[in-house]
Amino acid sequence: MAVIAHLRIPAESFELGRILEQESEGTIELENMVPLGEKAVPFFSVSDDVLDSFEQSVRDHPSVENILEVSKHENERLYSLEWNIDRDVFLEGVMGLEGQMLSAKGTTETWEFELRFPTHDALSDFQDYCENAHIPLEVGRIYNPVRPGTGMWYGLSKAQRETLVRAVKGGYYSIPRQMSTKDLSDAFDISDQAVTERLRRAIQTLVENTLIAMEDEQNEEFEPVETG
């Protein structure tokens, strides 16, 4: 079963982190990693509070082949970067163990990643790889994406997720009930019926993409094999 892990490493342990080293506070967020031949070209957004000489300092890095500003929106700029991935021990480990980078965000001190590995064993091997490569690795949340395409929120929309979380935290499902449908409808400026329908859909989606999906996957994994 595939597994997704949230990890954190020092910026200096990541070649892209060293390339994007900043002299002022700011964030750099990986938007996408696009395969291009034998390369992987990252697209990342940079906040305007990063140093003004960002482009030049990155362009002068020996691992960088090209950097291009793709777009600018409000206080952020989107760049594409071509760099020599062979110099990046961290990413080599991810790719060597068939991992996929789902997201990454970096600051002056640390980079945080959301990585998907095909199995728990692959994640364990990656942890061993980082230890052997002297890459300090802090492991956070680990979970199983039980349905393809559902993401870390198991297919819930933002509205469903916010309503369900508010209902649980507010005591809607407590005994005795501490929050009414009217309280929820007022909080989200929708009707009582819409709240009820949103909760119903959220619970159905959550159960289908977790409990039922895990049950289906286990049944497929341990399906008896007929023998002659």
Contacts of 81 (CB under 8 A, 6+ apart): 16, 19, 41, 42, 43, 44, 58, 64, 66, 67, 68
- pLDDT, greater one: 77 or 121: 121
138's enclosing H/E stretch is strand 138-143
pLDDT in tens, 167-199: 999 999 999 999 999 999 999 999 999 999 999
| Highest mean pLDDT (candidates 37-51, 109-123, 125-139) | 125-139
pLDDT in tens, 48-84: 666 566 777 787 888 788 888 888 877 777 888 887 7
The confidence score (pLDDT) of residue 145 equals 60
Among the listed residues 192, 215, 76, the one whose alpha carbon sits nearest the alpha carbon of residue 144: 215
DSSP state of 20: T
* Sheet arrangement for strand 3-10: 64-73, 76-83, 39-47, 28-36, 100-106, 110-117, 3-10, 138-143
What is the value of pTM for the model shown?
0.57
* C-beta separation of 47 from 27 below 8 A: yes
Among 37-46, 156-165, 188-197, the least confident range: 37-46
Look at residue 117 and tell me whether its pLDDT is greater than 60.
yes
Mean pLDDT of 162-170: 93
Mean pLDDT of 104-128: 87
Full DSSP string of 38-100:
TEEEEEEEEETTS-TTHHHHHHTSTTEEEEEEEEEETTEEEEEEEE-GGG-HHHHHHHHTT-E
Mean pLDDT of 191-213: 85
- pLDDT, greater one: 133 or 87: 133
Look at residue 36 and tell me whether its pLDDT is greater than 80.
no
- Kindly state the tokens that stand for 107: 């600051």
Tell me what percent of the chain is helix, strand and coil, each rounded to the nearest 5.
40, 30, 30
Q: Give the number of other CB atoms < 10 A from CB of residue 106.
A: 24
Distance CA 80, CA 44 (A): 7
The confidence score (pLDDT) of residue 61 equals 80
3-state secondary structure (DSSP) of residue 141:
strand
Distance CA 67, CA 55 (A): 7
Torsion angle of alpha carbons 100, 11, 41, 63, nearest 10°? -130
Contacts of 152 (CB under 8 A, 6+ apart): 4, 114, 143, 145
Please report, as a single letter, which amino acid is at residue 106. G
